Chain A
Amino acid sequence: MSKYSDDPAWSDIVPLPQDDGGPNPLAAIAYKDEYSEAMSYLRAVMAENEMSERVLGLTEHIISMNPAHYTVWLYRAKCLFTLSSDLKAEIAWLNPTALKHLKNYQIWHHRQTIIEKLDSADGEVTFISSMLEADSKNYHVWSYRQWLVRRFDLWHEGELEAVEGMLKEDVRNNSAWNHRWFVVFGNEKMEGVDDGVLEREMDYAKAAIYMTPQNQSPWNYLRGLLRYAKLPASTLKEFALEFASPEKPDEVHSSHALDLLADIYAEEENKKEAEKALDLLAKRFDPIRANYWNYRKSLLELPAAAS
């Protein structure tokens, strides 16, 4: 039995079949009849700009098979607004749908449209948490979270604490580190951050490095802070030396410390020590990147050594 052609509720619609453009279509897909039929009805109602409850059902059906259909979402949104549908119910439907299609772009765009119209972030943070439980590094979720924080001014509504909770769970979650950066530096209404905040952030990154010295995320964060504050790399010399020294090749605890030291020595124009650090990286502690470390060595020969 066909879902639409046998349904009296759709008997007034003449389905519009797909014109696949001649005998040599490219990337033609072996559609199931269910999809072909639903799409033919979708074209027919879209062509008439029909806004109705049955259209909402049809778009839901299409989305379950092809969530990347870029105009079915726009059509659905218009339909929801035209019918003054219950937007909270729409969000309730979207929640499991998003979980089912973790990598889909359109779904987030739609969610933004609906939440924008609702003008309320109620329940969103809880929903985001459940999404991050399923996939703690999901790019779309983190992007959406940033939008939400900006849109509803949630900067001081527990964001920093939430990030800390996530980093406690997994100190290697680079998405969480990045979100921390956003929470600290992303508020355009603030004019820069004060020294106290900068110091707090440095301490936080350092503490994470003590715990996991070979974790690149806090090293990147720490060095990002330096660049933000326009401080020389040598500010971190003592700290880096706690994890590695070119003079003690058997006591290296972090390749990232060697990397930083190479930059510090280059900054100090101590070419010999910089070369030693880069050699240790290339030959022993990070041979995957031997070519890169050797390239960095070649830069030391240039008049203005790269940072």
Chain B
Amino acid sequence: MAAKRAETFFPLVAGDESKLNHSRHINYWRRCLKTYLPYQYTSNDSNRMSLAFFIVSALDVLGNLETGITPGEREGYINWIYHCQHPEGGFRAFPATDFGELRNENNKAWDPANVPATFFALLMLAIFGDDLERVKRRECLEWLTRMQRPDGSFGETIGENGRIEGGNDIRFGYTGTGIRWILRGSVEGPVDGVSDINVDKLVECIRISETYDGGISEARFHEAHAGFTFCAISALSFLDRLPLPTSPNNDRVRGLSNLPLTLHWLASRQTATLDDDDAYDTNKDGTNSSATCHDADSFAKLSGFPPKNSESSYKGQPTSQFETQWTGMNGRCNKIADTCYAFWVTGSLATLNHLPIIDRPALRRYLLDKVQHLVGGFGKMPGDPPDLYHSYLGLATMAILDEPGLKSFDAPLCMSNDARKHLESLSWRRKIVGIRDGDEAEIAASSRVEIAKPDGMQVEHEASSDRSHLTLSGG
């Protein structure tokens, strides 16, 4: 039913050129930037820093941030971010816990800095072109070491008596290692007298979260999930601990103990099951019901068709049956597609230098024809209204897929390469990661992240010596 609603907005004729409606997306995001978000976002009030990041970064990726705001507004936004900086390092996720002058030792447990919010605040400062000189960098890194538990996992906030609160899943390991990468690259060991996090322990934590089917889960023995898989792979990339030829050649423990299996799991996420209505009776023998049968359509429908395309080559387009013109990504085995998983999966594969193993044109068409919304932004599923989260991750996926008119994108940092280059150019950071003034050429070379692969397959074993952004630390 939902699919039909969407089809009335976007007539689906195979062969029609699918388009990213730039101006509508810009309008959507500018409305989010310049006017109040509707009260329905109240349940996300505690995630304001991430909502802010989606808005600012989306406009940056669309190339509209600089032109769309005045210098005064830019300064005002930067000041708001610093307003959320926590007196003891890190950032609050929203201003609502700030007691102002009433803050004291007895009540500070209710007003902590927040790990994901700190990551997003720092990224936003980079996007705005700020120099991060007002960031309490030393305090932030010291606080970060206190966020790690003995088992290697990270928490979200520090509560009473220094207790680490929040889940122990890799979302916090991802954003924690992201903070570390922003403030000190992937240099291991103490920097300026501030000790490092326990990198080996965190990598170990990720390794035991790998599942029997090759994905990565929230914690040991939990179910493989594309979101956690992205977080784990990105964390490993921030730490230079991926099992890739581009990672430093040393004997440190790496994450992803079985890369081929993880790639299998990631490739398995692409699906033509976009809607509950797509449920399909595979066997026609009563063992399946429409309620239980998901992700069977590619096989069941297509095996009924005679093979049309006999010349499908490795470099060419996949067989183009009508049913596979639009395929999204699910987040777990036997679930239906959802816009956000398009990002978690493509982001993971881009970081692993294996993006071409999926069907990118079909994913692009799914995003543009099925979940892109008339007013701009993306919905979660066909026919759904847009929301900030799905709209940002939909747009980010389009950038990863090299959509013309969008800025090139860094998957682990989840923002434009322009913003990343700005971060890397900051003199205090260059000092820490050991880049001297004469190393300009190397920075430029390493800055060209090869997310934008040509159409031909660029697989791991031929990924050559191009240095990914992760290897800056060696510089």
A interface with B by C-beta (< 8 Å): 16, 18-32, 35, 39, 43, 46-49, 65-71, 74-75, 78, 105, 109, 137, 139, 142-143, 146, 169-175, 178-179, 181-182, 185-186, 211-217, 220-221, 223-225, 227-228, 252, 254-255, 282-292, 294-295, 297-299, 302, 306-307
Chain B residues with CB under 8 Å of A295's CB are: 314, 354, 356-357, 457, 459
> Roughly how many angstroms separate A185 CA and B221 CA in the complex, as a whole number?
9
Residue in chain B with minimal CB distance to A182: B221
Select A220's contact among B99, B213, B271, B362, beta carbons within 8 Å. B213
Q: Assess whether B84 is interfacial by the CB under 8 Å rule.
A: yes
Q: Is the CB of B359 within 8 A of A26?
A: no
Q: Is the CB of A23 within 8 A of B76?
A: yes
Closest 3 CB pairs of A and B: A24-B76, A224-B212, A21-B83
> Chain B residues with Cβ under 8 A from A252's Cβ?
303
* Interchain CB contact under 8 A, B48 and A27: yes
Q: Does B245 contact A (CB under 8 A)?
A: no
A30 touches B114 (CB 8 A): no
A70 touches B114 (CB 8 A): yes
Enumerate B84-125 residues with CB–CB distance to A below 8 Å: 84, 93, 95-100, 102-103, 106-107, 109-112, 114, 124
Q: Which of the 9-residue segments B50-58, B398-406, B432-440 touches chain A?
A: B50-58
Contact B42–A66 (Cβ < 8 Å): yes
Can you report 26 A-B residue pairs in the complex whose CB atoms are below 8 A from each other? A19-B100, A21-B80, A29-B39, A29-B45, A43-B99, A46-B110, A47-B107, A49-B106, A71-B111, A172-B294, A178-B217, A178-B223, A182-B222, A212-B293, A214-B299, A215-B296, A223-B213, A224-B213, A283-B310, A286-B299, A288-B318, A288-B359, A290-B319, A291-B359, A292-B358, A307-B258
* A196 CA to B326 CA, complexed, in Å: 45
B195 within 8 A of A: no
Quote the shortest CB–CB distance from A264 to chain B (angstroms).
Answer: 15
Q: Do A228 and B212 contact each other (CB < 8 Å), given the known contacts A29-B42, A68-B46?
A: yes
Give the shortest distance, in Å, between B246 (CB) and chain A (any CB): 18
Shortest CB distance B114–A (Å): 7
B166 within 8 A of A: yes
Asked if B332 and A174 sit within 8 Å, CB to CB, the answer is: yes
Q: Mark B260-300, 1 if CB is under 8 A from A, else 0.
A: 11011001101110000000001100011001111110111
Q: Report how far A78 CA is from B47 CA in the complex, Å.
A: 23
Nearest residue, chain B, Cβ from A40: B96
Known: A29-B37, A307-B260. Contact between A288 and B44, CB under 8 A?
A: no
A302 pairs with B461, CB closer than 8 A: yes
B224 proximal to A (CB < 8 A) = yes
Contacting pair A288 B107 (CB below 8 A): no
Closest CB-CB distance, A97 to chain B, in whole Å? 13
A280 to chain B, nearest CB (A): 9
B41 interfacial contact with A, CB 8 Å: yes
**Shortest Cβ gap from A28 to chain B (Å):** 5
Instruction: Check A70 against B166 for contact (C-beta < 8 Å).
Output: yes
**Shortest Cβ gap from B122 to chain A (Å):** 14
Asked if B218 is at the interface (CB within 8 A of a chain A CB), the reply is yes
* Whole-angstrom distance between the Cβ of B457 and the nearest chain A Cβ: 6
Q: Check A27–B324 contact: CB distance below 8 A.
A: no
Determine the distance from Cα of A51 to Cα of B220 in the docked complex, in whole angstroms. Answer: 37
| Chain B positions within 8 Å of A16 at CB level | 99-100, 102
Extra pairs beyond A27-B55, A65-B42, A70-B46 (12, CB < 8 Å) = A19-B98, A26-B56, A39-B96, A70-B93, A71-B97, A186-B220, A214-B282, A224-B211, A282-B319, A284-B319, A287-B312, A295-B459
Partner of B333, one of A47, A67, A174, A289: A174
Roughly how many angstroms separate A174 CA and B219 CA in the complex, as a whole number? Answer: 16
- A residues in contact with B107, CB < 8 Å: 46-49
Known contacts A46-B110, A287-B302, A288-B271: does B294 contact A142 (CB below 8 Å)? no
Asked if B465 is at the interface of the complex by the 8 Å CB criterion, the answer is no
In the bound complex, how far is the Cα of B307 from the Cα of A30, in angstroms? 55
* A108–B465 alpha-carbon span in the complex (Å): 46
Interface size band for B: 35 or more
Q: B9-17, B139-147, B155-163: which one contacts chain A?
A: B155-163
**With contact pairs A26-B52, A220-B333, A221-B212 given, residues A292 and B357 touching in the complex (Cβ less than 8 Å):** yes
Taken together as a complex, chains A and B put the C-alpha atoms of A298 and B312 apart, in Å, by: 14
Q: Is the CB of A21 within 8 A of B38?
A: no
Q: How far is the CB of A302 from chain B (nearest CB, A)?
A: 7
B 213-234 to A, binary, CB cutoff 8 A, 1 in contact else 0: 1000111111111000000000
- Which residue, A39, A71, A186, has most C-beta atoms of chain B within 10 A? A71
Q: Report whether B298 and A291 are in contact in the complex, using a CB–CB cutoff of 8 Å.
A: no
Contact A22 B44 (CB under 8 A): no
A287:B321 contact, CB within 8 angstroms: yes
A143 with B218: in contact, given A65-B42, A295-B457, A306-B260 (CB under 8 Å)? yes
Beta-carbon nearest neighbor of A24 in chain B? B76
Q: Are A212 and B95 in contact (CB under 8 A)?
A: no
The smallest beta-carbon distance between B382 and chain A, in angstroms, is 17
**B333:A216 contact, CB within 8 angstroms:** yes
Instruction: Determine if A66 and B81 form an interchain contact, defined as CB atoms under 8 angstroms apart.
Output: no
Report yes or no: A286 in contact with B298, Cβ–Cβ below 8 A. Answer: yes
Option from A21, A30, A185 in Cβ contact (under 8 Å) with B37: A30
How long is the Cα–Cα vector from A19 to B99 in the complex, in angstroms?
9
Tell me which of B79, B81, B222 contacts A178 (CB under 8 A): B222
Q: Which of B102, B296, B309, B457 contacts A47 (CB 8 A)?
A: B102
B332 and A25 within 8 A (CB): no
Do A212 and B287 touch across chains, with their CB atoms under 8 A apart?
A: yes
Q: Does B67 have its Cβ within 8 Å of any Cβ on chain A?
A: no
Q: For B313, list chain A residues within 8 Å (CB).
A: 294
B96–A43 contact, CB under 8 A? yes
Nearest CB on A from B410, distance (A) = 21
CB < 8 Å: which of A22, A28, A286 contacts B83? Answer: A22
A178 to B218, CA, bound (A): 13
**A216 contacts which of B96, B114, B295 (Cβ < 8 Å)?**
B295
CB-CB < 8 A to A223: which residues of B? Answer: 213
Q: Which residue of A lies closest to B461 (CB)?
A: A302
Could you tell me the distance in whole angstroms from the C-beta of B182 to the nearest C-beta in chain A? 19
Given known pairs A109-B167, A146-B221, the reply for A66 and B36 (CB within 8 Å) is no
Contact B43 A65 (CB under 8 A): yes
Give the contacting residue for A298; candidates B157, B224, B271, B457; CB below 8 A: B457
Given A26-B81, A70-B156, does the pair A285, B302 have CB atoms closer than 8 Å?
yes
